[in-house]
Amino acid sequence: MLEFETLYKFLDLAGTFAFAISGAVAAKQRGLDMFGIFAVAFTVACGGGIIRDLCIGAIPPVGLSDWRYLVTAMLAALMTMGLHALVERLHQPVLLFDALGLSLFAVSGAHKALLYGHNTEVAILLGMTTAVGGGVLRDVLLNRIPVIFQKEIYASAALVGTIVVVAGEYFRWPDTVVSLTAIALCFILRFLALRYHWNLPVFRDKETAND
């Protein structure tokens, strides 16, 4: 049990770090000041987890009560500002770290819902909420259309990761193997969708399509 809790905490903090970087980079690209960068980084990193904890009754949310989440998000923001030239050398840095955070949070969110005794449906939905919630808040704060409302494969990738987690719980597969597999599948699906421009179908009115 201790090993499982350690793995879960690592995944949660790793996801926090990855999402905080994506938030800080996006905020810097929008020209926000230092406070704005810190605020967006923390919101992206902990927003989805806070929503999840409120839904499952984990009060106060760990993103607010555990100092490690705030420190992790702030360190990621400072690293992004201090080493911005290095981060910018990565190909599409926001999308890269966002995909990593998506994968880690989908897995940790589903795990936590199961840990609190909720059923498969709740675990899948809250795993997805944990994964995409911070990104939605980031896009709203930066006045952008949230990625999950567009044609990109984003929430669908998180869905795949959460399904693997609940399947592993049902069949009693080793937690470490299940978690790593779920993270890998979610990240690979999101990465390939970006690389090869895989998209979900978009339905438009004929008049709009002809404009």
Query: Domain map of the chain by residue range?
Result: 2-200
Lowest-confidence pick of 48-57, 144-153, 168-177, 181-190: 144-153
Sign of CA dihedral 171, 177, 183, 188: negative
- CA nearest 162: which of 52, 61, 70? 52
Over range 89-93, report the average pLDDT: 58
Residue 175 confidence (pLDDT): 86
Asked if residue 106 has pLDDT above 80, the reply is yes
Residue 8 confidence (pLDDT): 72
Could you tell me the end-to-end alpha-carbon distance of the chain, in angstroms, rounded to an integer? Answer: 59
Q: How far apart are CA 66 and CA 16, in angstroms?
A: 12
Q: Across all residues in the chain, what is the average pLDDT?
A: 86
Confidence band, pLDDT 50/70/90 cuts, at residue 117: very high
**pTM to 2 decimals?**
0.84
Asked if residue 2 has pLDDT above 60, the reply is no
Asked if residue 39 has pLDDT above 90, the reply is yes
- CA nearest 131: which of 51, 194, 39? 51
